[in-house]
Amino acid sequence: MIGIGLDLAEKRSRVSSYAAEHGITRVVEIAPDKFAGQLGDEHVDWPEVQRYRTYYRLLQEIGPTTLVVVSECLRTSMRSDLNYNCVRHFLDKTPHVLVFQALPLISTFEDFMILFDFATQNRWRRESFRPNLLTESRIVVAPKTYSLSATVAPVDAKTRAKYAKTRAELFDAIGHGDPHTIPRNLHLVGARARAAAMVEGVAYVGRSKRGQCDATFKATSFAARCLVVDFPHSFIDFADFIALSGQTSIDVVTTDLPADAWYLARYQAWIERINAGQAALHG
């Protein structure tokens, strides 16, 4: 079974029911530490799955009455990632697996096939997503729709001049470097303007704890409602924020500087892909 968007209580209920129904003698939960949900007899942190001390032990210990719970382990879009391969080897040892993930993708819907591989013993590992494959695994989707709303903060002439100067310098220096450094750095130019629009008493999340930010995207917990004051470049950081905060409606402080507008459009398109993925799986 693959569960998308289920809360912790629902995850625990499904693990308990499955274990009772199938005569499970041991439950192993594989999840990044910040998502550990006490879902099993043993929790294995995500980086641990490839380490010799854990990998070879689990290969010996996992058996036909072991339930492996793979929770929030969609960490990269690379389907052949070493950690994914290690988990696949664990799942070869048992027919019992539950897969939980807050969002169905990291960047594109093709990412869902990583979760699908886990749930189907890798029978379609070499194939791209096809809607007719969905019947090969039970998929449960919590009905959620995500949204992104923006408040545009004013930018003064000094900041605009700084933006133009920084942009020219970055393009002159890029050479054969990573082009993603350009929007990442230009997004920082509007940080002061965005911080000036922050309201006291409201929880904010950002790349760093500048201004009144209560948390960064690398935090392990968030306030019940956080406003976003700038965007992480990596989608996985934002996905983790959504998973840990439980928010579906997300408010953002931005500016009309080109880099800020680019990030806003980029994440609005991402939210649309998330919603499309939810709908495709729920249907």
**55 vs 121, more confident:** 55
Q: For the residues of 122-133, what is the DSSP string, one character each?
A: TTTTTS---GGG
- Residue 173: pLDDT over 80: yes
Give the range among 7-11, 72-76, 154-158, 207-211 with minimum mean pLDDT. Answer: 207-211
Residue for token pair 């001049």: 161
- 3 has which bridge partners? 100, 140
Q: How many CB atoms lie within 10 A of CB 267?
A: 20
pLDDT of residue 245: 94
Write out the two tokens for 273.
């892909």
40 class by beta-carbon count within 10 Å (0-12 exposed, 13-18 middle, 19+ buried) = buried
Give the Cα separation of 141 and 5 in Å (integer): 6
- Check whether 210 has a pLDDT greater than 80: no
**Other residues' Cβ atoms within 10 Å of the Cβ of residue 62:** 20
Q: In 96-136, which residue ranges form alpha helices assigned H by DSSP?
A: 112-119
Q: pLDDT value at position 111?
A: 96
Q: What is the pLDDT of residues 59-99, one digit of tens each?
A: 999 999 999 999 999 999 999 999 999 999 999 999 999 99
Q: What is the pLDDT of residue 211?
A: 66
User: Which 8-state DSSP code applies to residue 223?
Assistant: -
Q: Please name each of the domains of the chain with its CATH number.
A: 2-141 (3.40.50.10810), 147-282 (no CATH)
The whole-angstrom separation of Cα 79 and Cα 125 is 8
Within 13 A of 264's CA, how many CA atoms are on the CB side? Answer: 19
Work out the widest C-alpha separation in the chain, in whole angstroms: 68
As beta bridge partners, residue 66 has 26
pLDDT-derived band at 123 (thresholds 50, 70, 90) equals confident
Q: Using 50, 70 and 90 to split pLDDT, how confident is the model at 283? A: low
Strands (E), the chain: 2-4, 26-30, 42-44, 66-71, 96-101, 139-141, 147-152, 204-206, 215-216, 227-228, 249-254
Instruction: Please say if the pLDDT value at position 184 is more than 80.
Output: yes
Give the least confident one: 4-13, 202-211, 216-225.
Answer: 202-211
Kindly state the percentage of the chain with pLDDT values over 70.
Answer: 99
Q: Tokens representing 118?
A: 């886990």
Q: What percent of the chain has pLDDT over 90?
A: 84
At residue 94, the 3 state secondary structure works out as: coil
3 state SS of 205: strand
Mean pLDDT of 158-184: 90
